[in-house]
Chain A
């Protein structure tokens, strides 16, 4: 979930939602303010207009006019009164003069005490105008209804805003999720490609969008990398191929030379040269073996094989070597653990792992071999408490020719783990390195189907 929130697509969706909300709220506020201003203006105009019209009436005319207005014309006036010069009420329905100037303009009073009541107040506007006879005419309008109307408008707008907000968020989340699901798929695919599944390509839909375009470019790049890889491998395989006969010939000639001379100096040189050629031949043979395993996979005849039996056999084969190094070797098998595969190849892969473990474990160490079935998947573990692998070297150990700097003096082709990984791959098994605290643990695990 955190990853989901952190994804860029989600951030874009949230920003979009926020922008929509701000824009909508702005428009709504504008509408509200316009309505409010228009309403207020009309109220004021009515009141001022009324005051201007009736300022020159006689007192008697006013009295009857007030009566009519207050009883029959509730729409326009709520309050009307005539005060004398001392601001004492002469008649009308207001008992106290509000604190407003006598300028014929409307003034707002937030809490006007309703006459005849103890403390009921309401918002209202008033206009006061002096008359020629010195008395003051006061007209007023309650804003109670206006305010109620405003509230209604406000409520209506707010009610509209909430579903709009939710809808925006939902749409945003939908698109974000879709985008993030596609990105996750791309990420997973790339991770698998980086693990060596070079045949995989990123998904591209029939109607390509921006992501598809980039995916297609990445796919083209992968094709090119693949082509170069095959080319480089071809070159190295060809070199190995062409080296075989010369190496065998030189080996034979040196052996012959060794036999035909009594010169100790020459013999020593020949022996050293032979040792080096033996190593070169080992490497060339391993390289060709690797090429064979990698190139010609499915031609191997797969049958049901028992990993427990294979590992038990190898355990018995290697145990004397471990004993000779005072290494304790243990075996734990769940029998049988069956897979479809090539027994000879699997023996070779596990042999490389066990041989390595013994090679890199010092005297009186421990090497453990186990074969189990976990969650329906076969798992072979070969662990030791030897020198292990430096964190910086961990992604390199499966590379061709890589040998740990600390283990460099131990002879070997440097291809054993590459061959084991290629064989594991052929059997839909993943070969992984794990830290054994201390030492190394190699795990060959069946891949999840699909």
Chain B
């Protein structure tokens, strides 16, 4: 990864929000530039962007057109869309036009940063057959999980949940990300169901005498599979 491509380009016409996003991402060690749609497109074409964060609508202009154009040209830069529109139709349209993820306003900054981190460190190696963190190992072919040599029996959904964490070690995973990617639920919940699923999973994968869980809570954001466990 060269220095030039480590820049995140942000296309957002609400200045205060753009500044907050920039500040938050910079705090996490990213380089951020707030740019216009045209600037973002040009930079993406020459490979001068680690990823794009684009508002769906900037100064009354639909950014989906530009995105679709970029994709048609074969530009592969990861794109996170931010939208004021919450309907499922809109999300589908955004993803069809070439967006990799879609976030609806209003969102917590933790939600945005978690998604950005996940996109930047996405493991696109589908040939991976084994995922490993510490002494936890998942075999994707055999569909088995072992921790420290002991076989752990998981329900299909628990397996998917753990797989998601193993694919994003050391990253903040929000509840919304789990709902969307593990359960394919594209709506917000007013209950703590996800936490219950996580706690059930912990009971299965953590040894009885473990001082702390492999999956830790991140206050105000979600969960993280601690890679150093």
Known: A278-B108, A300-B88. A355 touches B187 (CB 8 A): no
A318 touches B193 (CB 8 A): yes
Q: How far is the CA of A249 from the CA of B22 in the complex (A)?
A: 12
Shortest Cβ distance from A412 into B: residue: B190
Say how far B110's CB is from chain A's closest CB, in angstroms.
7
Q: Does A418 contact B (CB under 8 A)?
A: no
Which of B12-20, B66-74, B146-154 interfaces with chain A?
B12-20
Q: How far is the CA of A102 from the CA of B85 in the complex (A)?
A: 116
Cα–Cα, bound, A284→B105 (Å): 9
Please encode chain B, from 100 to 120, with 1 for each CB lying within 8 Å of some chain A CB and 0 for all others. Answer: 000011111110000000000
Q: Which residues of B contact A412 (CB under 8 A)?
A: 190
A241 contacts partner chain B, Cβ-Cβ < 8 Å: yes
Contact in complex: A243, B106 (CB < 8 Å): yes
Q: Which of A249, A252, A345 has the most CB of B within 10 A?
A: A252
Contact partner, A320, options B20, B88, B109, B196, Cβ 8 Å:
B196
Are the CB atoms of A296 and B197 closer together than 8 Å? Answer: no
User: Given contacts A289-B187, A300-B88, is CB(A248)–CB(B157) below 8 Å?
Assistant: no
Is B108's CB under 8 angstroms from A251's CB? yes
Bitwise, A407-427 to B at CB < 8 A (1) or not (0) is 000011100100000000000
Q: Which of B190-224 contact A (CB under 8 A)?
A: 190-193, 196-197, 199-200, 220
When the two chains form their complex, are residues B16 and A245 in contact, meaning their CB atoms are under 8 A apart? yes
Interface size on B, residues (CB 8 A): 38
Which B residues are in CB contact (< 8 Å) with A252? 20-21, 23-24, 109
Closest to B199 in A: A324
A282 within 8 A of B: yes
Q: Does B188 contact A (CB under 8 A)?
A: yes
B90 contact set on A, CB distance < 8 A: 292
Known: A241-B84, A248-B106, A252-B20. A299 touches B183 (CB 8 A): no
List the B side residues contacting A318 at CB < 8 Å.
193
B189 interface residue per 8 A CB criterion = yes
> In the complex, what residues of A have CB within 8 A of residue B14's CB?
245
Contact A317 B108 (CB under 8 A): no
CA distance A316 to B182 in the complex (A): 13
What is the minimal beta-carbon distance from B26 to any residue of chain A, in angstroms?
11
- The closest CB in chain B to the CB of A260 belongs to B27
Q: Is B144 an interface residue when CB atoms closer than 8 A count as contact?
A: no
Knowing A245-B14, A248-B105, the reply to whether A317 touches B183 (Cβ < 8 A) is yes
| Residues 59 to 77 of chain A near chain B (Cβ within 8 Å) | none
How long is the Cα–Cα vector from A246 to B106 in the complex, in angstroms?
Answer: 9
Give CA–CA (A344, B185) in the complex, Å: 7
The CA of A259 and the CA of B17, in the complex, are separated in Å by 19
Q: Are the CB atoms of A249 and B86 closer together than 8 Å?
A: no
Choose among A292, A344, A411 the residue that contacts B190 (Cβ–Cβ < 8 A): A411
Asked whether any CB of chain A lies closer than 8 Å to the CB of B186, the reply is yes
Which chain B residues (54-81) contact chain A, with CB distance < 8 Å? Answer: none
Complex contacts, A251 vs chain B, CB 8 Å: 106, 108-109
Nearest Cβ in chain B — how far from A91, in angstroms?
Answer: 121
Tally of contact residues, A, Cβ under 8 A: 49
With contact pairs A320-B196, A347-B187 given, residues A285 and B86 touching in the complex (Cβ less than 8 Å): yes
Complex Cα–Cα for A412 and B90 (A): 25
Q: Is A11 an interface residue (CB 8 A)?
A: no
**Within 8 Å of chain A (Cβ to Cβ): is B228?**
no
Per the 8 Å Cβ criterion, residues 172-226 of A in contact with B are none
Q: A281-B106, A351-B189, A359-B191 are in contact. Are A342 and B88 (CB under 8 A)?
A: yes
A247 near B: Cβ within 8 Å? yes
**Residues of B contacting A351 with CB < 8 Å?**
185, 187, 189
- Contact (A253, B20) CB under 8 Å given A245-B14, A284-B106, A342-B88: yes
A11 vs B217: C-alpha distance in the bound complex, in angstroms?
Answer: 73
Assess A282 versus B188: contact at CB under 8 Å? Given A248-B20, A251-B108, A251-B109: yes
Taking the complex as formed, is A301 at the interface, i.e. its CB lies under 8 A from any CB of chain B?
Answer: yes
A293 adjacent to chain B (CB < 8 Å): yes
CA separation between A26 and B108, bound complex, in Å?
A: 88
**Given A253-B20, A320-B200: A248 and B109 within 8 A (CB)?**
yes
Closest CB in chain A relative to B183 CB, distance in Å? 6
**Across-interface contacts of A282 in B (CB, < 8 A):** 188, 190
Q: Is the CB of B89 within 8 A of A300?
A: yes
Flag if A255 contacts B196 (CB, 8 Å).
no
Contact with A along B21-43 (1 / 0, CB 8 A): 10110010000000000000000
List residues of chain B with CB within 8 A of the CB of A411: 190
Which residues from chain A contact B21 at a C-beta distance below 8 Å? 252
Instruction: Kindly name the residue among B24, B86, B104 whose own CB sees the greatest number of chain A CB atoms within 10 A.
Output: B86
Q: Nearest chain B CB to A294's CB is how many angstroms away?
A: 10
- Can you list 10 A-B contacts (CB < 8 A)? A247-B106, A249-B20, A256-B23, A288-B104, A292-B90, A318-B193, A321-B196, A342-B88, A344-B185, A355-B193
Among all A-B residue pairs, the 3 with the closest Cβ atoms: A292-B87, A252-B20, A348-B187
Seed contacts A241-B84, A296-B89, A355-B191; 4 additional CB < 8 Å A-B pairs = A282-B190, A288-B84, A300-B89, A412-B190
Residues of B within 8 A of A (CB): 14, 16-17, 20-21, 23-24, 27, 84-90, 104-110, 157, 183, 185-193, 196-197, 199-200, 220
